[in-house]
Structure 1
């Protein structure tokens, strides 16, 4: 593996050019930092992390929706990473400390099990990108218990990329596309970015060789005067994606516009539950009304980090007031968060 890595790095050096490559996957950032991949690349080849952590992207308003329910006595089931994501009036961890019934689950099926065992209303906070949204959809169409409903916080990667490209804020030249998301949606949704914006793209797997090879494939496209979507992760990703999962998503959700943490409203970027399944939509069932709130935490630069225009090391709170034991911003909470990864693996 070392010899192959050296060979790929050598090939990268031979065709190197100034380029800014964005990835949108916490697992990619983890691989890059853990294995010091940025230090292996020529300085002119820059890899920046975008909004690749689904927990980090949940805005304060949606945390406040869950806090409202928790404080009304509703049982909240959510992933462990969500507990410390900040809202405005606190986090779900704070609500739990105040006596609210907030339970950690490892999947939506665990939320179903909880609802089957208790008489109380249960709401599953359904966070995640296209990778996990089909599991939520599958439970909704399977007629879950009447006391279970879902707060959809599911988000879509391609609209966020389109927003970033068109904003010009990042000035990115190429994209490493997320392997997990692509197993569901395939490669077709990315074609627009190459065809309209002349951006080379590679769908990549998650080991160091995958990432290095994706960088080489991008540079090779520049060398050959191409801009297309290439699939380095063919062992898991098909061009058409997972058609059955896509059908589930289309059956249960409609696509709407909503803000992301660190972003304004991104058009057509969020999955919401269709009217025919409204009995399972917590927003409809409980008529939740939460005022528009800002995600700004004083001194925290999670927004610019999620948009790929800043690194954790540029934050004055990083490694000081903000650390994994005391996360001030959302990017420090999850192990897929850029700040959490940078804390654990240094500034390579």
Structure 2
């Protein structure tokens, strides 16, 4: 396919891989975080790690919008459908994320998923393994998968007698469509439409990873040498927001597209910056990303949405100024205000390592549940649900080389500065990039 195949050329990939191996200095380790789940998916699918030197490690970041969604927010959405009789609309990947392990019937210490006064609220059909939106739908909740925010607005028009809630998640890429439907609902005077806004922001998460008190409490923050910046997000916000990380934290950022040659070229550019002692924002994805970004998209978001003071991310905890909510002018369409929702945090499954994987301090196979109890058919954590999740990507393509124990993983300082073994044989290996030729399911919510 024109304009795609050119970025999947096996011979060029081998040449870039050879260049990376030649320029990566043997006496030092390189640790680059690909923030976006789309890059994690590309690295696993196309076998990019197999072309990198053993002392260069790609660390999976918290750039999967489903993976970073905390359980408490899913509880709220499920509660709206089960208890308030609302039609809840959301993107496909969100449907399968496990929520709280509630039991049916009243419990002495039962939580109210809506945060209301009735702590003895009965939730029908909830099981010990945890309810997901898909399971709740099977038990009678009116939860609908939509492809876009406009689909949710269409459902609200079709059912004026029902409350319709759009469970809005995702990074800056999916935020403008949410803002547009809220604005349109206001213009049309729709009284039955609202948004449970859980949109999160990339810059806040990167800053939190680099310099957060919470990271020091964990004591397991990995030192990073640079970032592969997200593609779709950067089309909206531009490359300018990353300049603070290069300037203040001395961390190079290279924005890259999602094709294998994009990712490999970005890695080569990062290696060169580290070798030369530079910390700059470079744009490999020049065919789509500009410094200023999409002004029209930014304008509609600024009109409808505003920053939250704090928002919980799975794996990162509370992150200041890292998420959005509806402005007071559009409060009539804010599901949290309309239904009186109060957020209550919920702990992850005790054996699930999604939090540590999202922080980049553990790999999927470090989790005892990976590939055994936790599979795409029976996900225990969010990283196995989404096609962009690190666990799902590694499970789908069998890429376990970069998950071998590294030679060393130093703990990062507050403004952190700045290996793996041989590849396992893959019977599905193709001659082009040393990768499996299988395709992933279509991505519902690109970052």
Q: Fold conserved (TM > 0.5)? A: yes
Q: Is the 8 A contact 1:202 1:231 kept in 2?
A: yes
Does the residue aligned with 1:319 lie in a helix, a strand or coil? coil
Report how far residue 223 of structure 1 moved. Answer: 2.3
Query: Which residue in 2 is equivalent to 1:125?
Result: 167
Q: Please name the residue that 1:44 is paired with.
A: 55
Aligned to 2:70: 59
SS in 2 for 1:65: helix
Segment drifting more, 76-85 vs 177-186: 76-85
CA offset at residue 21 of structure 1? Answer: 0.1
- C-alpha contact 1:160 1:266 (8 A) present in aligned 2: yes
Equivalent residues of 1:61, 1:293 under 8 A apart = yes
| Match in the other structure for 1:151 | 196
Please give the secondary structure, in 2, of the residue aligned with 1:153: strand
Deviations 1:29-76 (A, max 9, x none): 111001111111001111011111101111111111112211121110
Contact 1:154 1:271 in 2 (8 A): yes
CA contact (8 A) 2:262 2:284 kept: yes
* Runs of 4+ deviating beyond 6 Å: none
Equivalent in 3, 13, 37 of residue 5 of structure 1? 13
> CA-to-partner distance for each residue in 1:201-222, whole Å, 9 max, x for gaps?
1000011110110010011112
User: Secondary structure of the residue that 1:124 maps to in structure 2?
Assistant: strand
1:112 aligns with 2:153: yes
Deviation by residue 1:216-267 (Cα, 9 ceiling, x = unmatched): 0011112222110000000000000001111111111111111101121101
Q: Secondary structure at the match of 1:51?
A: strand
Q: Distance in 2 between matches of 1:202 and 1:315?
A: 30
Verify: 1:86 aligned to 2:98, yes or no: yes
Q: How big is each residue's C-alpha offset from its partner over 1:142-190, in whole Å with a ceiling of 9 and x where there is no partner?
A: 1353211000010001110110011361211100000000000001110
Greater Rg by CA: 2
Cα distance in 2, alignment partners of residues 27 and 264 from structure 1? 22
What is the CA–CA distance in structure 2 between the aligned matches of 1:309 and 1:81, rounded to whole Å?
24
Aligned-residue offset at 1:294:
2.5
Q: Secondary structure at the match of 1:3?
A: helix
1:282 Cα deviation (Å)?
A: 0.4
Q: Report SS of the residue matched to 1:248.
A: helix
Q: Secondary structure at the match of 1:94?
A: helix
Return the alpha-carbon distance in structure 2 between the equivalents of residues 333 and 208 of structure 1: 23
* Contact residue 14 and residue 51 of structure 2 kept, 8 A: no
Unaligned ranges ≥5, structure 1: none
| Equivalent position SS for 1:241 | coil
**Corresponding residue number in structure 1 for 2:222:** 170
Contact kept in structure 2, 1:262 and 1:295, CA below 8 Å: no
The alpha-carbon deviation at position 311 of structure 1 amounts to 0.9
Distance 2:141 2:377 in 1: 22
How many pairs align? 347
Asked if the contact 2:87–2:163 (Cα under 8 Å) also holds between the matched residues in 1, the reply is yes
**Between Structure 1 and Structure 2, which shows a larger proportion of helix residues?**
1
* Alpha-carbon separation, structure 2, partners of 1:94 and 1:134: 29
Q: 1:15 aligns with which of 9, 23, 48?
A: 23
1:288 corresponds to: 341
Partners of 1:263 and 1:232 in 2: how far apart? 28
Query: Structure 2 unaligned runs (5+)?
Result: 1-8, 103-130, 402-447
